[in-house]
Chain A
Amino acid sequence: MAKKDEKIEYVKNGKRLDGRKVDEIRPLKMEVGVLPNADGSAYLEWGQNKVLVGVHGPKEALPKHKQNPYKGLVRFTYRMASFSVPDRKNPRPGRRESEISKVSGEALEKAIFLERFPNCAIDIYVEIFDSNAGSRAAGITAASLALADAGIPMKDLVAAVGVGKAGGEIILDLNKNEEDAPDAVDIPIAIMPRTEEITLLQMDGLLTKPEWSKAVKLGIQGCKQVYEVQKEALRKKFAEAEKGK
């Protein structure tokens, strides 16, 4: 760890502390259909992040007063395991979890044809087993895969990535070290890659206008990288059976 007043160079000769380039995401691995008892499921490893998602439904939305006769309901549950961070995390859902569940559910809602499921609910359970910055992006990415695996009609997949600033440089897919930089800015961004519609955009920290436009551009480019891996993971499901013949 660096001393308090020591200045860390987060980007040196175009490379970051962990050897990545400025516009490079961490190694990403996805797998679809891992839970036999869920309608759709996905497992994702993104750098140190490990996420397991199960999708149930569409099913009747209960309690009944939550039903909407015009469209279905997306119930997104983001949960961090108590062992997912270096210090034990209190397993009780807190402010942060509720907020992430809400915004992530809304990010996915835009892609689903909910009007085909009146009075119904789609349950998405996202379990974070290991977390190292960017877990909500990982959760959304994996959840959209699980939704596709469950056969729920969607306009497009949703791909998400974190983008931000550390040490004065705009970088893609921050890890925990970079997120803890003194001038850190963190922008999780989720898009539907085909139309580049943004479905989630949050920010904490301060950016100048040119920095902001650069960051969003980089974020969209990062999402497209993630999208390629998502497509591959879904197609792999077919390919495996084809190999077996």
Chain B
Amino acid sequence: MENKKEEKAMLKEAKPVSKETKAEEKPMPKEGKAEHKAKKIVIPGDLIAEGRKKLGQHVFIEDGKIFSDTLGISYPNSETAYVVPLSGIYMPQRDDLIVGIVERETVKGYMVNINSIYSCYLSADKCRDRLEKGSIVSAKIDSVNEMNEADLFDVRVFYGGTIIRVVPAKVPRMIGKNGSMLAVLKEGTGCSILVGRNGWVWTKGGDSKKLAEAIDLIESEAHLNNLTVKVEAFLKGKKVNE
């Protein structure tokens, strides 16, 4: 009972706060949240925060201060100290959805290139169809060891289609908040799209040329605000830069 009361009290407290934040966010477009967060471009060795903070990715501590370890964007007002990198190789992480290409066949399975440091071994027991060199698969990452080698599960095979490469650091912008960017891309080009976290995007059908151009746009302006709106305008045939 007490717990429930506490919960209710917390809810009551929480409500007005959420209203306020909503009011703040209202005039801003879909991806505008980043706007009221001050952005800062950081380079390796730049100071992120002096005091104690939760630690996110791409930061390190020296003498009690938090520094960036990469070229990217930091949000000085956020609770967590983290940097969104501008570039970098894909490092597999658990539960990532990735797109891979079968590199070669071994006795009991396949080696799958996942655009990372190492290729993954995929047991033949885990896939129903016989794969060939060059087959495109999507899979989730089961586990990663200390050498950044990954194990795959939930393998799906794709027939046909092409792969577009993007910089892995910019994949979150390709998907957008709750898949908003992806929905815009699918609607605007009519392509079937699967975005792998490793920077490989599988597409089939639709206006693939337009899609490639839209992806180029996302890549070159990944660090700017209101990208979904811009891409939407681009796909509708308006000029973006004016």
Complex interface: stretch among A1-9, A96-104, A169-177, A237-245: A237-245
B43 touches which one: A60, A113, A234 (CB < 8 A)? A234
**Are A157 and B44 touching (Cβ within 8 A)?**
yes
B117 touches which one: A117, A148, A156, A234 (CB < 8 A)? A117
A153-B43 contact in complex given A119-B147, A244-B241, A245-B224, C-beta closer than 8 Å: no
What residues of A have a CB within 8 angstroms of the CB of B67 in the complex? 155, 194
**Are B117 and A150 touching (Cβ within 8 A)?**
no
Q: Which residues of B198-214 have CB atoms within 8 Å of chain A's CB atoms?
A: none
A58 touches which one: B45, B70, B86, B89 (CB < 8 A)? B89
**Are B44 and A241 touching (Cβ within 8 A)?**
no
**Are A153 and B58 touching (Cβ within 8 A)?**
yes
Report the minimal beta-carbon distance from A236 to chain B, rounded to whole angstroms. Answer: 10
Q: Which residues of B112-156 have CB atoms within 8 Å of chain A's CB atoms?
A: 117-118, 146-148
The answer to the question of B75 belonging to the interface, with a C-beta cut-off of 8 Å to chain A, is no
The answer to the question of A152 belonging to the interface, with a C-beta cut-off of 8 Å to chain B, is yes
**Are B88 and A151 touching (Cβ within 8 A)?**
yes
**Are A154 and B87 touching (Cβ within 8 A)?**
no
Q: Per-position contact with B for A219-245: 1 when CB-CB < 8 Å, else 0? A: 000000000000100110110011011
What residues of B have a CB within 8 angstroms of the CB of A194 in the complex? 45, 67
Report the minimal beta-carbon distance from B38 to chain A, rounded to whole angstroms. Answer: 15
A151-B45 contact in complex given A59-B117, A60-B117, A113-B60, C-beta closer than 8 Å: no
Residues of B contacting A: mostly: loop
Q: Which residues of A130-188 have CB atoms within 8 Å of chain B's CB atoms?
A: 148-157
What residues of A have a CB within 8 angstroms of the CB of B220 in the complex? 241, 244
**Are A151 and B169 touching (Cβ within 8 A)?**
yes
The answer to the question of A189 belonging to the interface, with a C-beta cut-off of 8 Å to chain B, is no
Tell which of B69, B70, B118 has the most Cβ of chain A within 10 Å: B69
**Are A242 and B224 touching (Cβ within 8 A)?**
yes
**Are A155 and B43 touching (Cβ within 8 A)?**
no
A244 touches which one: B43, B45, B70, B221 (CB < 8 A)? B221
A237-B86 contact in complex given A113-B69, A153-B58, C-beta closer than 8 Å: yes
- Where the two chains meet, the residues of B that have a C-beta atom closer than 8 Å to any C-beta of A are 41, 43-45, 58, 60, 62, 67, 69-71, 85-89, 117-118, 146-148, 169, 220-221, 223-224, 230, 241
A-B contact pairs, 7 of them (CB 8 A): A39-B89, A58-B89, A59-B117, A111-B44, A151-B87, A157-B45, A241-B220
- Where the two chains meet, the residues of A that have a C-beta atom closer than 8 Å to any C-beta of B are 39-40, 57-60, 69, 111, 113, 117-120, 148-157, 192-194, 231, 234-235, 237-238, 241-242, 244-245
